[in-house]
């Protein structure tokens, strides 16, 4: 395997915290990341990596994936990856896409292992989740803890409900700052997301996620008041009708105590009687 420090030296580039560049340089962590896919027998015929950097993780993914596509927004790093991995590209094993992962067309991948740029990690995650593929993603520790949190805990919120709507998510490893060059200001963590259908049904997924977002903006209020106060976010034309129709036990709760299935049932009711807009 290529040495992470050697890759940085050959690239002639330093990570730039101001540009959200923190290169993972700990060999042990790099070696472990692909194993989180292997543990669940994930299809690794086409592995997607977001944020290739200098290619230390790319190198490990090439060892387990039949085909790897890496998306890198930094033109200098993308050029270095094409040079460093010229043989793998020529053999058809690696494709380098230069561009913003939120804007480029993503390939038809089977799984993703990525050390995401933290500044846009949420946006990228929610571009990947709907694809319904196994994901091994690195985030800031606090973000990862919120993603896997259960109802009734202080970390539980919109992120928890929205993430768990798409997949079973577990925090598989915490990563110290020292594993990166330069070290970030906070500790990191790796989550594994295994896609599955939720144990509830909603007629309109976009409305469900918007409704959850709305209620968590008023997490200190009762659900009754949160529905009334957030119609401009949820798009409900008739929030009072939802309040008049919903079960009183639910209306007395607060968002942090609502399990995802309870949110789904309430969102379904709101969709049916609250006359939401189509946006």
Q: Which residues are annotated as a binding site for S-adenosyl-L-methionine?
A: 22, 24, 51, 72, 100, 115
* Residue among 152, 147, 266 at smallest CA distance from 200: 266
The first and second tokens of residue 28, run together, are 């042990």
Strand order in the sheet with 135-140: 94-98, 68-72, 47-50, 111-115, 135-140, 188-195, 167-175
User: What CA–CA distance (Å, rounded) separates 128 from 133?
Assistant: 8
CA distances from 276 to 27, 209, 245 (A): 51, 13, 15
Closest CA relative to residue 263, chosen from 169, 146, 151: 151
Quote the longest CA-to-CA distance of the chain: 66
Classify each residue of 208-218 as buried b or exposed e, where b means 16 or more C-beta atoms within 10 Å of its C-beta. Answer: bbbbbbbbbeb
How far is 24 from 5, CA to CA, in rounded Å?
Answer: 10
Mark the binding-site residues, compressed into ranges. Answer: 22, 24, 51, 72, 100, 115
- How far apart are the C-alpha atoms of 213 and 100, rounded to whole Å? 25
């Amino acid at each position: 395997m290529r040495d992470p420090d050697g890759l940085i030296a050959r690239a002639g580039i330093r990570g730039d915290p101001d540009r959200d560049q923190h290169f993972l340089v700990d060999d042990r962590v790099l070696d472990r990341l692909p194993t989180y896919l292997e543990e669940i027998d994930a299809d690794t015929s086409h592995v997607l990596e977001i944020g290739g950097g200098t290619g230390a993780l790319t190198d490990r993914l090439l060892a387990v994936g039949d085909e790897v596509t890496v998306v890198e927004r930094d033109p200098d790093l993308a050029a270095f990856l094409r040079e460093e991995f010229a043989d793998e590209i020529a053999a058809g094993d690696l494709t380098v896409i230069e561009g913003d992962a939120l804007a480029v067309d993503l390939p038809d991948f089977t799984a993703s292992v990525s050390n995401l740029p933290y500044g846009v990690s949420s946006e990228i995650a929610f571009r990947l989740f709907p694809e319904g593929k196994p994901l091994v993603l690195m985030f800031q520790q606090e973000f990862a803890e919120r993603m896997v949190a259960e109802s009734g805990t202080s970390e539980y919120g919109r992120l928890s409900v929205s993430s768990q709507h798409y997949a079973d998510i577990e925090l598989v490893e915490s990563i110290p700052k020292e594993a990166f060059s330069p070290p970030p200001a906070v500790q990191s963590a790796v989550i594994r997301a295994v896609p599955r259908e939720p144990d509830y049904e909603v007629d309109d997924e976009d409305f469900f996620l918007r409704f959850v977002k709305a209620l968590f903006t008023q997490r200190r209020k009762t659900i009754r008041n949160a529905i009334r106060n957030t119609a401009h976010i949820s798009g409900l034309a008739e929030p009072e009708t939802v309040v008049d129709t919903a079960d009183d036990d639910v209306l007395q709760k607060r968002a942090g105590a609502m399990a995802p299935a309870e949110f789904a049932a309430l969102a379904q009711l709101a969709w049916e009687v609250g006359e939401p807009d189509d946006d």
